[in-house]
Structure 1
């Protein structure tokens, strides 16, 4: 019984030890122009299937890394917004505020917090990333103590 645990422990240690140094700083940073497609056909609203309009936009992405774990940058969208880009735990994340995202019956509107979280596609294909586009409204908006959230798959494809 002790022997398998020792073998598994050694294998995990070896894999972790090999994976970390293999990623150089230049391999993590992403820069260029990307087509970003949020696929509304597979959208979920509050964890239930609810198709939404698909959205295609173009992003200009700039980022730098001081180590393979410490990266940051900026995204500028052709839809008129820009936001900070951060890298954490093998994933990139962009978060922005969407004004007047959640309309209420009484005519008021509340902002949404949109987050794009993405990572290298598997198997890795240079310049291609997959992930999620998720927008959440504030709890208590429109008189309901429930957060409205819409999530759909997103694909980023580098064009230059």
Structure 2
């Protein structure tokens, strides 16, 4: 008995399962037909990507993960309360009149959406909606304001 008692039982490791994780493969569409810059609609190319996402949570409102895009980039993604947020840098994003390029900061903010009610729902993890905003620093390309483009986003789990 003494030997068994001194060995103890190691705690079991397990993955988080709060029902909000985004693990899997996603089709992500940024719709260029509804793009805006400085609150004015502009026509942009629609961008479709495939993302592989791995995530884990420490609570139902705090998760971290990694996104790998079929476009060749990887970035962290975090759940903050009810929004999944991905930030990444894009080198040479905006062409400047002098032939140089300004880097861009891209931010995806998405949330689960209930299509029947058209309402946000944290626990819907197969269909997400949100926005994709990319902007430069103020002063980039000799302009006293940032260049920014905002597109609506739709994410659908495909695997």
Query: Normalising by the residue count of structure 2, what TM-score does the alignment of the two structures yield?
Result: 0.82
Partner of 1:138: 137
SS of alignment partner, residue 62 of structure 1: strand
| Deviation of the 1:126 alpha carbon | 4.7
Match of 2:65 among 70, 73, 91: 73
Q: Distance in 2 between matches of 1:25 and 1:62?
A: 13
Return 5+ residue gaps in structure 2 as ranges. 1-15
Match of 2:48 among 53, 56, 64: 56
- Paired residues of 2:20 and 2:125 also in contact (CA < 8 A): no
1:1-23 Cα offsets, whole Å, 9 max, x none, are: xxxxxxxxxxxxxxxxxxxxxxx
Partner of 2:11: none
| Deviation of the 1:89 alpha carbon | 2.3
Q: Distance in 1 between matches of 2:150 and 2:100?
A: 23
Q: Distance in 2 between matches of 1:89 and 1:96?
A: 20
Query: Normalising by the residue count of structure 1, what TM-score does the alignment of the two structures yield?
Result: 0.82
Q: More strand by proportion, 1 or 2?
A: 2
Q: Distance in 2 between matches of 1:141 and 1:40?
A: 23
Task: State yes or no: 1:148 paired with 2:147.
Answer: yes
Larger radius of gyration: 2
Q: Distance in 1 between matches of 2:51 and 2:125?
A: 17
| Deviation of the 1:30 alpha carbon | 1.1
Q: 1:138 to 1:126 in 2, by over 3 A?
A: closer
SS of alignment partner, residue 84 of structure 2: strand
Q: More helix by proportion, 1 or 2?
A: 1
Describe how 1:33-112 pairs up with structure 2 within 5 A: 33-112=25-104
SS of alignment partner, residue 61 of structure 1: strand
1:53-74 Cα offsets, whole Å, 9 max, x none, are: 0000000000000111221000
- Paired residues of 1:25 and 1:66 also in contact (CA < 8 A): no
SS of alignment partner, residue 33 of structure 2: helix
